[in-house]
Structure 1
Amino acid sequence: MSVASHPAPQTKLNSLGFAKPESETRVVVAMSGGVDSSVVAAMLAEEGYDVIGVTLQLYDHGAALAKSGACCAGIDIHDARRVAEEMGFPHYVLDYENIFKDAVIDEFADSYLGGATPVPCIRCNERVKFKDLLATARDLDADCMATGHYIQRMMGAEGPELHSAADANRDQSYFLFSTTPEQLEYLRFPLGHLPSKDATRALAEKYGLKVANKPDSQDICFVPNGDYAAVIEKLRPGAAEPGEIVDMNGNVLGEHTGVIHYTIGQRRGLGIGGLADPLYVVKLDVDNKRVVVGPKEALATRIVPLAEINWLGDEPFEATPERRIAVRVRSTRAPREAILRSTGPTTGEVELLTPEEGVSPGQACVFYDPEGSRIFGGGWIVKG
């Protein structure tokens, strides 16, 4: 007599993708003290996960206490600790001040002095949060690390993929393009599927979190009120040396008090009024201490050279010399159609089908699926 075979029952995965009970799944939550990461921690704790909260102190604690409107400030450490106490999970504050200065702040200053427009938040994710903090999470025997970023991790045919957030207004993919495939295996982003920030705040209310109505951070944490030049002058005394403002033919139009006070695409505050047509900063000639200005059309860029490319596609980056993709060259701009060409393992160039204004070295160029939500990585814009 034959015995009918029955398929083995499928192993049910928990919400973080592990085939074991929530109580046996340890997750380290990177807590900035804001509403987003607080909701992630509270949500996972309520679901029964073994949650450990970790907050990074990234710069001088005394200065942090005096400053609001930025992540990782002193009041934020207090808020993160309070959420952990209310939800009943352990919380640790790690002093990463020296690591942060070496990996993020110093490069920010040097990049700015070199005439670039850096994005330190990307470097912080890449070199601190998703490197040193992630290593700490592994040391704590965590199965994964969760953050409050608005981005989605989805499983594809070749493994986890990075996708834009469901809410385009909150999407943080521009700041996370350098996340590697290995990091993506370990990371979780529980808020990426939410339809709006209001939904996040509603969850904070549900969990009774006092940070439910806390304002979002606006500034770069170590740049008070967005005054980049003041920070550079403090970090690199004597950096603001005066020089000439010239047109594209080299004609002197005025003087400036330091190249660090200007950015590509800037129109206001040039100090060269009285001209018939508006002029914009089109180039920063650091070696000669010159700010070069020109008409708006001079800002249009079609070819964008890239370095330090992080590729998140299924096939190797160099396997296809030319790809049709969409790219974002500023965090505030929507993706635009482009052609990506590889010129080496981690170098390439993007040809914008419609020229963009104000493309600046030091910014990121992030790659998107032109017909979907997937992110294929990106690279750093360099001087051509």
Structure 2
Amino acid sequence: MSRGRVLVAMSGGVDSSVVASLLVEQGYECVGATMRLATNEDDRPGERTCCSTDDVADARQACWDAGIRHHVFDYTEAFERDVIDPFVTAYEAGLTPNPCVACNRHLKFGALLDRALKLGCGFLATGHYARVEHDGRGYHLLKGVDAGKDQSYFLFGLTQQRLAHVLFPLGGLHKNPEVRAIAERLGLTSAHKRDSEGICFVPGGNHLRFIEQRTGRVAPAGDILDTDGNVIGRHEGALRYTLGQRKGLGVACARPVYVCAIDTVANTVTLGGPERLMARSLVARDWNWVAGAAPEVRLRAAAKVRYHQPDQPCVATPLPDGRVRLEFDDAQRAITPGQAAVLYDGDEVLGGGTIESVE
């Protein structure tokens, strides 16, 4: 007897391929689905991006190996609207966006989960390294047991209603050697496929070139300043720089300096010593509390302000307008507006939002 009908998000990689086969072994009725999100490598010769024809073929082969049907759903318009356009807008405003967070919130656990439910599937399964548990208080989003692969940081936008229909079969496994070994046991063609890296829709990782080609606007040259406002050099486009950057600055200084401010209105980049990057608090907007409601009092917890950062002890204060202030025990380096701040209680994700300002 089937344990339920599941739509499995298939990227063509080893993780999603293992997910499909594991769920079939566990007695679920599965259907594979690959999201077409952007133009593929065939349209950009020599530059690999997401949604390549090879990836779709690998996903189809994995479904064939698992004995399930495979579909390709076109979400290019939604991806442009909800991920790429905000990415470009944020960079042009001097922010450093995290498109993976937007993709998970709007596409994978938004549009694709909605489609799964419309197709009569009770669950959407993905290859994320995270866990979902349920008790009398509701659903809990937890870190994956593989600390090196844990992806809970990108999933803070999930709500109670969404978590009720999500499966993360790899959350209790380690990528190496467990998941790779399962892929080899199953004879999957993706068993030794390389993991994807970087922003999937930016060819070669060159975000400036991507933005210039997309907008038709070349980032103008401008002044590089020191922290006293003195001009110490020239840049070839402020969008080339990120907060905390040290290499490739094009300026010779007597001591190590870092990008400590980017002003896209004035078109300046400011360099300063490492002390200029340290801050104790931030305010985050678009905050989602996974439990469904904000706590009534200040909350002692821990937070990350970038992926793979160790948890940092802090106090979270819900603000009347829905934003959240995080005050850290220790000063944090290069807290970057546009990135995600994610709050944890041990292994549990309490919530998260987009860093708006650093205090």
TM-score range (shorter-chain normalised) is: over 0.9
Q: Which residue does the alignment assign to 1:377?
A: 351
Give the whole-Å Cα distance in 1 for the aligned partners of 2:170 and 2:45: 28
Aligned residue among 304, 318, 330 for 1:328:
304
Q: Cα deviations across residues 346-384 of structure 1 (Å, max 9, x unaligned)?
A: 201111111111111000000011xx2111011110135
Give the whole-Å Cα distance in 2 for the aligned partners of 1:337 and 1:71: 36
Aligned residue among 201, 208, 231 for 2:210:
231
Give the whole-Å Cα distance in 2 for the aligned partners of 1:67 and 1:51: 33
Distance 1:128 1:65, change over 3 A: farther
Q: Which residue does the alignment assign to 1:258?
A: 237
Aligned residue among 289, 311, 325 for 2:267:
289
Distance 1:27 1:67, change over 3 A: farther
1:224 Cα deviation from its structure 2 partner? 1.9
1:67 Cα deviation from its structure 2 partner? 4.2
1:239 Cα deviation from its structure 2 partner? 4.3
Q: Which residue does the alignment assign to 2:10?
A: 31
Aligned residue among 31, 51, 63 for 2:43:
63
Q: Cα deviations across residues 163-219 of structure 1 (Å, max 9, x unaligned)?
A: 001110110011111112211111110100013432001111121111101010012
3-state SS in 2 of match to 1:202: helix
Give the whole-Å Cα distance in 2 for the aligned partners of 1:140 and 1:171: 29
3-state SS in 1 of match to 2:249: coil
Structure whose alpha-carbon radius of gyration is higher: 1
Instruction: Report the AA paired with residue 46 of structure 1.
Output: E
3-state SS in 2 of match to 1:32: coil
TM-score calculated relative to the size of structure 1: 0.90
Give the whole-Å Cα distance in 2 for the aligned partners of 1:37 and 1:278: 43
1:332 Cα deviation from its structure 2 partner? 2.6
Instruction: Report the AA paired with residue 254 of structure 2.
Output: A
Give the whole-Å Cα distance in 1 for the aligned partners of 2:328 and 2:215: 36
Q: Is the 8 A contact 2:19 2:125 kept in 1?
A: yes
Give the whole-Å Cα distance in 1 for the aligned partners of 2:295 and 2:285: 14
How many residue pairs match? The answer is: 357
Q: Is the 8 A contact 2:18 2:182 kept in 1?
A: yes
Q: Which residue does the alignment assign to 1:367?
A: 343
Give the whole-Å Cα distance in 2 for the aligned partners of 1:327 and 1:174: 10
Q: Which residue does the alignment assign to 1:351?
A: 327
Instruction: Report the AA paired with residue 51 of structure 1.
Output: C
1:237 Cα deviation from its structure 2 partner? 2.0
State the identity as a percent. 39
Aligned residue among 7, 18, 21 for 1:42:
21
Q: Which residue does the alignment assign to 1:305?
A: 283
1:141 aligns with 2:120: yes
Q: Is the 8 A contact 2:37 2:50 kept in 1?
A: no
Give the whole-Å Cα distance in 1 for the aligned partners of 2:3 and 2:330: 52
Q: Which residue does the alignment assign to 1:319?
A: 296
1:184 aligns with 2:160: no
- Segment of structure 1 superposing worse, 284-293 or 151-160: 151-160
Q: Is the 8 A contact 1:338 1:350 kept in 2?
A: yes
- Segment of structure 1 superposing worse, 150-159 or 182-191: 150-159
Give the whole-Å Cα distance in 2 for the aligned partners of 1:64 and 1:158: 49
Find runs of 4+ consecutive structure 1 residues off by over 3 angstroms.
63-68
Structure 2 matches for 1:139-218, cutoff 5 A? 139-218=118-197
Q: Cα deviations across residues 258-317 of structure 1 (Å, max 9, x unaligned)?
A: 1100000011111111x2111110011111001011101100011111101110247x31
TM-score calculated relative to the size of structure 2: 0.96
Q: Is the 8 A contact 1:33 1:72 kept in 2?
A: no
Q: Is the 8 A contact 2:315 2:327 kept in 1?
A: yes
Give the whole-Å Cα distance in 2 for the aligned partners of 1:253 and 1:174: 38
Give the whole-Å Cα distance in 2 for the aligned partners of 1:36 and 1:64: 26
